[in-house]
Amino acid sequence: MPLSSARTRATSRLPAPLFPGDDVESSIVDAIDAAREIPEFGTAVAATLAWARDATRKTGAATASVDTVWQLLASTAALDVAAGRILEPHVDAQRILAEAWDDSITPDLRPLDVDPTSTWGVFAAEGPDVRLAATRTSTGWTLTGTKPWCSLAAHLTHALVTAWIDDDNRGLFAIALRSPEVHVHDGPWHARGLPHIISAPIDLAAAPAVPVGDPGWYLARPGFATGGMGVAAAWWGGATGILHALTDAAATDRADQLARVHLGRADAALWAARTTLVDAAARASDGDAIDRAILAARVRAIVADAAETVLHTADHALGPAPLVADDTHARRVADLHLYLRQHHAERDLARLGRDLVRRRAEHDETSEGESGW
């Protein structure tokens, strides 16, 4: 059956299929169709969150293959970077809970009033001079302290948060953000990119919490690396929207050879990133936690570099005009620039180097043990 004109228009806003095959899954195309009907999609936070909740359910993203989830994230960010930023943590939280059930972890979320309308975040960042501590009481667990960088906490109903159980171990807990024991800050947030997606601290005063897994489970599970690479898939999708602007500029009658050089550079960078994501999806669950951490760090570094190449190239190719006269382009550039700062640049590369050294040391120890026989 031929695609409707609406479907054709929606498909044209998707990136090329991230994974081998001719078509993006129909459930994802349907989700993007629905998104295009939402006024101010991406900036109308409540409406976009409701869409993200429904899209996660209708695409089966909580338990779907990595291919499906990353294509959904990339396609959403291709339409609107901020919407991709809103969708990603909700999907991640749903996948974490599904992974817990697969590992025979059965958190009882009923005391938190979780229902099908719930929207979720994942708050795992740490910060200087702040700490969130978990305490076990006779009636359950409570969390007390401050958690930094809690994106959209004022809009979400629930979150998965990491908290310190003792001086050395952190656990993952589910909380209700609208509990009276939770205070959500409204800033500071002076961002020009993602201005509506406020990432501010929350204070908790003996807030009821439900543990999800044993201490360390959150970081050790295979899905931790997959979730980190899912963010990279969203970066890739967001950058494809800028690639479209470069393509349009290079296709005009007044375009010169230099415009095509810029387009070629950006396209090659995104193609390399796409190839990396495709390969990573096939091996995302391989190896132990260190192997998966190495893979995720490599993928995030490569995709972030590609997206930054596209941003830099677009500045040179297009000049200031679209940054001041084209609201969609200017917002996409600003949003993607800030979203990419979830990659910590040289610090993340240093962690990659650390893990490579650890893996080499373990390999050497194993080799020495084998040679003794």
Other beta carbons within 10 angstroms of residue 188's beta carbon come to: 9
Cα separations (Å) of 81 from 48, 236, 239, 251, 258? 12, 10, 9, 24, 27
The span from the CA of 74 to the CA of 277, in Å, is 11
Give the number of C-alpha atoms closer than 13 A to the C-alpha of residue 178, restricted to the C-beta side: 11
> Which pLDDT score is estimated for 56?
97
Could you give the CA distance from residue 154 to residue 86 in angstroms, rounded to a whole number? 13
pLDDT at 14: 59
Q: Which pLDDT value is given to residue 71? A: 95
- Confidence at residue 362, expressed as pLDDT on a 0 to 100 scale: 82
Which CATH code is given to the segment(s) 219-368?
1.20.140.10
Q: Is residue 182 within 8 Å of residue 203, measured between CB atoms?
A: yes
Angle at 348 between CA 344 and CA 351, to 5 degrees: 155
pLDDT at 22: 59
Task: Reduce the DSSP state of residue 32 to 3 states and report it.
Answer: helix
Count the Cβ atoms, other than its own, within 10 Å of residue 265. 17
Query: Quick one: pLDDT at residue 286?
Result: 83
Hey, what CATH topology would domain 110-215 get?
Answer: Butyryl-CoA Dehydrogenase, subunit A; domain 2 (2.40.110)
Q: Where in the chain is the domain with CATH 2.40.110.10?
A: 110-215
Q: Which long-range contacts (CB under 8 A, 24 or more apart) does 49-52 make?
A: 49/86, 49/90, 49/119, 49/152, 49/155, 49/156, 50/119, 51/83, 52/83, 52/86, 52/87, 52/90, 52/91, 52/119
Q: Check: CB of residue 141 under 8 Å from CB of residue 211.
A: yes
pLDDT at 10: 35
The two beta strands, 158-164 and 120-123, are parallel
Q: How much is the pTM?
A: 0.92
Nearest to 14 by CA among 27, 275, 344: 27
Residue 2: per-residue pLDDT: 30
- pLDDT tens digit at each of 373 positions of the chain: 232 333 333 334 556 678 776 578 899 999 999 999 999 999 999 999 999 999 999 999 999 999 999 999 999 999 999 999 999 999 999 999 999 999 999 999 999 999 999 999 999 999 999 999 999 999 999 999 999 999 999 999 999 999 999 999 999 999 999 999 999 999 999 999 999 999 999 999 999 999 999 999 999 999 999 999 999 999 999 999 999 999 999 998 898 999 999 999 999 999 999 999 999 999 988 888 889 999 999 999 999 999 999 999 999 999 999 999 999 999 999 999 999 999 999 999 999 999 999 988 887 776 655 544 3
